[in-house]
Amino acid sequence: MLPEWVVETLRKRGIELSMIGDIVYKLQKPYNADLKMEDCMESVKIVLGKREVQYVLCTGIALDELAEKKLLPQPLQSIMDCDESLYGVDETLALGITNVYGMIGLTSFGYLDKVKPGIIGELNNRKNGIHVFLDDLVAGLAAAASARIAHNDPKAKVYGE
């Protein structure tokens, strides 16, 4: 079940679920000609319905918000202020979302982190506010929702069914 606070927490930070759905669609369409946008949206909602995903999300977003309010201890505040490229905890936390769906999720996350399509790139370049965690959280969500579709593709099931 997807609680309203999860959708609201993302919306407050400028993220609509459709932005994540768009990335999922682009990731999976080359492998699945029948894929529809509503399949991607459903997958995003199912991933967001998992409690461990919700906890990762609210933890990362809280750190972004605390950094904007200058409430973090040093050296963390400075690291967040300049989005220090060697910090890496933002990616590590987001992998907590992706890990739920195994290796396809992991490789997709690496791809999204490198290419930064759609809202991920916008967040990375956004000058107002601090979004150190949010870009990786969105990438983690999109990668997990995409991997979920791949795992549920009936054409991919060869053994045991």
Residues of the shown chain interacting with Mg ion in the complex, contacts defined by CB under 5 A: 90, 132, 135-136
For residues 74 and 96, what is the distance between their CA atoms, to the nearest angstrom? 25
CB of 14 to Mg ion, least distance (A): 15
Residue for token pair 């992998």: 95
For residues 50 and 55, what is the distance between their CA atoms, to the nearest angstrom? 9
Closer residue to Mg ion in complex, CB, 14/32 = 14
Closer residue to Mg ion in complex, CB, 35/96 = 96
CB of 120 to Mg ion, least distance (A): 9
Give the largest Cα separation in the chain, rounded.
54
Closer residue to Mg ion in complex, CB, 39/90 = 90
CB of 132 to Mg ion, least distance (A): 5
Closer residue to Mg ion in complex, CB, 32/124 = 124
**DSSP SS3 for 45:** helix
Q: Which residue is nearest to Mg ion (CB)?
A: 90
CB of 50 to Mg ion, least distance (A): 21
Do 109 and 95 contact (CB within 8 A), yes or no? yes
Do 95 and 122 contact (CB within 8 A), yes or no? no
Q: Cis ω on the peptide bond leading into residue 30 (within 30° of 0)?
A: no
